[in-house]
Amino acid sequence: MARLQPVRGTHDLLPEQARAFRRVADAARGVAERYGYHEMATPIFEFSEVFKRTLGDTSDIVTKEMYTFADRSGAEITLRPEGTAGVARAVISGGLAQHMPLKYFYAGPMFRYERPQKGRLRQFHQIGVELLGVAEPLGDIEAIALGAATLDALGVSGQVTLELNTLGNAASRAAYRELLVDYFEARRGELSRDSLDRLARNPLRILDSKNPGDRAAIAGAPTLGDSLDAESADFFASVRDGLDRLGIAYAVNPRLVRGLDYYCHTAFEFTTDALGAQGAVIAGGRYDGLVGQMGGPETPGVGWAGGIERLSMLAGAPEPPPRPIALIPIGPRAEAETLVLADRLRRAGFAIELGYRGNLSRRLSRADRVNARAAVILGEDELARDMATVRDLDSGAQDEVPLAALADRLAGLS
Ligand code: ATP
Ligand code: MG
């Protein structure tokens, strides 16, 4: 039977959850459009190379989390673990770089082979934005403001705080890297095997480790702030100044690094403590090196991605669907008429629920179960007089209404 279970870490989205997810994506898309970011969609699978090149071969995603397989032609394919690499690939392969700046929004499933737990799945869903072609701090400010406005639109701002850091420019990171290597070399014994590997290949990544032993060693590590050169410090000051002017509160977290090689300058996360261990709801930053690293023209970029599962848990139950009207025919002639009446009312914009079978009481209880606002009962002799009975299912009141006036009568129900 195991094969008839969903794959571990995947979930069916039944209507209420699908609605909750759609609410997050719709709210985010609406806000994004007000900022001039329009939706695009890349395929959910790409050649593995797209992710290997951009995420770097030491990242957790590439080393442990990718869903990779050979397709029937032998091509190595990966289900996308995140959105930015695909967008960058699309910009390059579609020759879009000549139209900078580019502003995109996306929403859809992502796939990572993770240890499933609350808020951490193998198929999960993200919303995200990318701003390409803007090297100025204004781009970072706008991207963060767009994230804050999205959280506002979802009504969850009060549960979320913005953590901010800078990774500086390449020169600052190189200087910092040396300090960091010296520091961790002296503490090799405390580091996990993964972090020893990171120490050799990309020591900044150690700061991102969730291993408890690593965390203890990390606590005393030098921070990047002390290695920033003037350009990097100015850039960060401009970003903070913009956020201050917009009234967007943040806490500088010098330990916040992004796990990916191409990030520089601004790194940020909107986090919550309302969801237990999985606290990051939106994470992003600047990735000036990414498009160039993929073989495209050197292109600055900044963006973020947010987890729809986590955001929808924070936002709580979505608006219920519109309440339907139940049509309840009694007898074969009424049955036939109901089909046409349902069609007419649906075209007029009503949500119509047909019971399909059963007697009056069975159909009324079905109407209740689907939270119908009213039932329209169609008996043979009423139909003969071109009438129907409308029962208000909230008040229980009922009256006869001419069929010609039915739509108006139903529209009048609050
Ligand atoms: P984490 O530290 O939680 O592993 P991450 O750094 O891997 O997060 P990103 O790659 O920055 O996360 O993804 C952005 C957002 O997507 C996260 O902040 C989170 O809300 C969501 N997310 C990431 N991985 C998962 C997952 N496996 N299941 C559900 N949501 C996820
Ligand atoms: Mg992760």
Going by alpha carbons, the residue nearest to atom 29 of ligand 1 is 120
What is the distance in A from the centroid of ligand 1 to the CA of 259? 11
Tokens of 273: 């403590």
Give the separation between CA 313 and CA 237, rounded to whole angstroms. 34
Phi, psi dihedral angles at 210 (to 5 degrees)? -105, 0
What is the distance in A from the centroid of ligand 2 to the CA of 414? 46
Kindly give the pairing relationship between strand 264-271 and strand 251-252.
unpaired
Q: pTM (2 decimals)?
A: 0.91
Cα–Cα nearest to 253, from 235, 238, 241, 271: 271
- Name the region of 125 (left: φ>0; alpha: ψ -120 to 50; beta: rest): beta
Going by alpha carbons, the residue nearest to atom 12 of ligand 1 is 283
pLDDT per residue rounded down to tens, the chain (414 residues): 567 899 999 999 999 999 999 999 999 999 999 999 999 999 999 999 999 888 777 677 887 899 999 999 999 999 999 999 999 999 999 999 888 999 999 999 999 999 999 889 999 999 999 999 999 999 999 999 999 999 999 999 999 999 999 999 989 988 998 999 999 999 999 999 989 988 988 888 888 888 899 999 999 999 888 899 999 999 999 999 999 999 999 999 988 887 566 789 999 999 999 988 879 999 999 999 899 989 999 999 999 999 999 999 999 999 999 999 999 999 988 999 999 999 999 999 999 999 788 899 999 999 999 999 999 999 998 999 999 999 999 999 999 999 999 999 999 997
Per DSSP, helices labelled H in 348-387 are 360-369, 380-384
- Best residue for ligand 1 mutational test, from 309, 311, 313, 314 (most atoms within 8 Å of Cβ): 309
**Beta strands, E only, 201-339:** 251-252, 264-271, 280-286, 301-307, 325-329
CB of 278 closer than 6 angstroms to any ligand 1 atom: yes
Which of ligand 1's atoms lies nearest the C-alpha of 122? Answer: 27
Contacts of 393 (CB under 8 A, 6+ apart): 326, 367, 368, 372, 373, 374, 375
CB of 120 closer than 6 angstroms to any ligand 1 atom: yes
Going by alpha carbons, the residue nearest to atom 2 of ligand 1 is 280
